[in-house]
Chains A and B, each alone.
Chain A
Amino acid sequence: MNFGLSEEQELIRDSFSGTLERVCQLDTVRKTAEVSAPMDESIWTELCSLGMAGLLIPEEFGGTGLTLLEVAVVSEELGRRAAPVPFAGGVVMAPLAIRLGGDDNQKREWLPAMADGSLRVGVAVSEAAAGARENAGVTAGNGLLSGRALFVLDGAEAGGYVVADNAGGLHILHANASGLNKIALKTIDRTRAVMELRFENTPAEPLRNSSDVLQTIIDAGRVSLAADSLGVGEEMLRQSVEYSADRNQFGRTISSFQAVKHLCAEMAAELQPCRGLVWHAAYVIDQSPKELSLAAAFAKSHMDEVGRFVARTATEVHGGMGFTDLTGLHYWFKRLGVNRAYLGSPERVRAEAARLQGFTA
């Protein structure tokens, strides 16, 4: 019995954190955000050289065949740096969908190029995971998709898409498929790309066991987002402690005022137990998959609430500076806001948790 990371997992964490420290400083994040680029190619390339894109892809297809726990470890580091690269959709959900639902041909066609990072795949499951807005939705028939999918994750400059239809079926298609229209959506968070897809009799291949696979990739995506939020939260706390130590008022550092210390203590206290919740959810996917949905729901919904508290509190500790663009703290604030809304708001996810436990029909 051990509730913690193995030495190998700690090595993975350290190598990602070291690389991110080198290539993903605030000015890089700022540059990406200001030019509204969907992502930073050089960071993506660096991280792919560490095997990031192939984390969940089996070795026979060129990946490292690791588990959701390694995904959570990496995701936390990406959140800590507000890294402008695809992850929850393109590195977690899309490969998992093909690994679990693809036939041999589909796996051979997609996975090796995804594993080395040369092919990126976006994920259109927002209507299934978070509910449909603007009457969006996709219908499937005779190998053709019609309708629209909103809030597609990691879709910018993607070579293909995994798409959920209204009946819970999953499909995969190339970005150059006929009748496919791609519209970028600007969000508060400029560190990750979101888009809308419109389908007009667009040819797509179905994946197998779709509704089970759909639930599993949503669960895995939720765990990944929760881990990202944990990294973001820890970073916002770190910056708060650091900033308050440097700022002097009334002849002393403001970090010596209990009013400030207690805010930081509350953030630390809320964040500490989240790690167990996230790691456990990541761990159960392989051990007892039927527990995954509930564990992922707890991790996502609780982390969303803690994230909102930390985002606000860290900003307040920074005083007026926290409201300005100067500290860059707002990149993390916005990342938490997006993580909360993606793949199901906490209220929606908790309602799912109630259903999963038979508390309601």
Chain B
Amino acid sequence: MDLNDRPEHKVYREEVRAFLSEYKHLAPGESAFSFRMEPRKLREKVQIWQGLLVDHGYTSRTVPKKYGGFGADVDILKNRIIADEFFATNVIQGLGNQGISMFVPTVLEHGSEELKERYIRPTIRSEIVWCQGYSEPNSGSDLASLQTSAIEDGEDFIINGQKIWTSGAHIADMIFCLVRTEPDKPKHEGISYIVFPMDTPGIEVRPLQTMTGTPSFNEVFFTNVRVPKSNVVGNRGEGWAVANSTLKHERGLLGDANRSLDSLLRVKRLLQNESLDGQPLMENPLFRDRFIKLQARVQAMRLHEMRMTSEADKGGGRSLGDMVIKLLGCELNYQLDGLGVDLLGEIGILYDESPMLRDGGAWQANFMFDLGLIIGGGTAQIQKNIISERGLGMPREPKVAQV
């Protein structure tokens, strides 16, 4: 164990502080919540900010220089310094969207040189926004049964079918998509991972209204969409392995402990600033106990991620410790939102418009949205299957005989 700042880290902390004091006025002041609500309005501001972060190595740090990244080695202490200082300044630390956090690591691992050179640089600078075409109406938890077809036609594939739960498809420039290229092969072996622009002829996007009242998911329909074969990431027919690498990154993103820390501090502010019968909520021992309980969990998750990063540094595959992050992180976020909603009580049921509204209605919206995240990206129950089967070596459910 060595968590001390070395002299280079002290210097680094000063560098980050200097950057923040010079540029923080350019940061989009809004929370991740606003990005969800108004992505288009904020896009230009985000691109400027994201570009600055990439150039200084505060985001996409380890992406190689030749693809537009900062090319730094993994240094979890520097990551922590960046997170701490951005947090202390109340400035958002870059986007963690599907393109940056999921597509980029996947294409780095599996993509051709051509795809890497074409897409990584604009993606990490937020010039290209991505969506993920995975789930289908009849292929949710059983994702590998997907039916969207890609039929060979000269140098192209012709894609037909439908995707659902496609977050951000209504604002995305590009999609990374799973399609069936080998219909005669067993279900896991016939899938390819392919990327294409969302303005390709034959794509129709229909927003899905959600329980939060904000459309963030979509149905996406493909009718004879023509995509060059060279847009396949990894080998044709091996898309399941490529997809799993994306899912691994998605689950890390969904369980991110910095997001939980952010929620925790917002809850703390409520405890300190809100009052009931003229008494600060922090004076209430029951609320205080619930807060400290969750604070210990957030602390455990932060330290766990540091331990996992240290282990990944030493090499080795995905461990039991990695597999639990999505399940625990999403549940923790939901519990934090739930405490926030409870702390606000009746004032917290206001929604949309009211002068008494707190944080723009984010508490109720997040409480619903984060329940969606417990389900999305592989439900909690699927995570438990993964943990027990791959992590603990327990047997799979016996297959029901095909009729």
Contacts and interface: CB of A to CB of B under 8 A. Distances in A.
Interface of A: 1-6, 69, 237, 241, 244-245, 252-253, 255-258, 260-262, 264-266, 268-270, 272-277, 279-280, 283, 287, 298, 301-302, 305, 347, 350-351, 353-354, 359-360
B295 interface: yes
Given A265-B383, A265-B387, A268-B388, 9 more contacts: A2-B2, A2-B310, A4-B310, A261-B385, A262-B381, A269-B384, A273-B300, A274-B300, A276-B303
Contacts of B285: 351, 360
Contacts of B299: 277, 298
Nearest to B5: A1
Contacts of A1: 2-3, 75-77, 310
The 8 closest A-B pairs by CB, nearest first: A276-B303, A261-B388, A273-B304, A265-B384, A1-B77, A265-B387, A273-B300, A269-B324
A273 B303 contact: yes
Contact of A266 (B293, B310, B311, B384): B384
A277 B307 CA distance: 10
Summarize B's interface: helix, strand, loop or mixed: helix
Interface in B282-302: 282-283, 285, 288-289, 291-293, 295-297, 299-302
Summarize A's interface: helix, strand, loop or mixed: helix
Nearest to A299: B296
Nearest to B393: A241
Interface residues of B, number: 51
B395 A255 contact: yes
A287 B5 CA distance: 11
Contact of A360 (B283, B314, B321, B394): B283
A301 B292 contact: yes
A3 B307 contact: yes
A350 B394 contact: no
A276 B320 contact: no
A293 to B, nearest CB: 13
B403 interface: no
Interface string B174-217: 00000000000000000000000000000000000000000000
A299 to B, nearest CB: 8
Interface in B366-403: 381, 383-385, 387-389, 391-398
A244 B397 CA distance: 14
A160 to B, nearest CB: 32
B388 A262 contact: yes
B346 to A, nearest CB: 24
B282 A272 contact: no
Given A351-B289, A359-B288, A256 B396 contact: yes
17 contacts: A2-B310, A4-B314, A5-B1, A241-B394, A245-B395, A256-B394, A258-B397, A264-B392, A265-B385, A268-B320, A273-B297, A273-B324, A277-B303, A302-B293, A350-B292, A350-B293, A359-B271
A129 to B, nearest CB: 18
B389 A347 contact: no
